[in-house]
Amino acid sequence: MAWIPLRQTVTVYPPADDAYDPWNPAPPVEPFTLKCRYQENVETVRNQHGAEVVSSAQIFLDKYAPVTASHEFEYVDESGTTTRYKPHNVARKRWLNGKAILTVVYV
């Protein structure tokens, strides 16, 4: 059970394997969907290189979601507008016992 209502969905596109090997081709990368909460607000965060960037939206995912900053996220809002994002940062919010309760993707 999630700590906040997760009523939207987001499609996650894993990064493609850059190392091409003709004798051992990598399996195709399949996108997957996750339940989320999408929230638009401006926030200043640090990206994976340590530089300050402005995040225009946050995607909240339940527990420890299998995503990294190299994934791409596609969100379709209520009006049918599709937006594809590359994240600035992925943060895990933890409970007192150390377990992840939320994954926040800053896009």
pLDDT tens, 14-62?
987 666 667 776 677 899 999 999 999 999 999 888 899 999 999 999 9
pTM: 0.84
Of 62, 57, 90, 91, nearest to 3 (Cα)? 62
For residue 21, with 0-12 CB atoms within 10 Å meaning exposed, 13-18 middle and 19 or more buried, which class applies? exposed
Locate 9 and state its tokens.
């969905």
Instruction: Please tell me the predicted confidence (pLDDT) of residue 107.
Output: 93
Residue 9 has pLDDT above 70, yes or no: yes
pLDDT tens-digit map of 89-102: 999 999 899 899 99
Looking only at the bridges linking them, the beta strands covering 72-76 and 8-13 are antiparallel
For the chain, give percent helix, strand, coil, nearest 5.
Answer: 0, 50, 50
Torsion of CA 3, 5, 8, 14, to 10 degrees: 0
**Structural domain boundaries of the chain?**
8-15+36-106
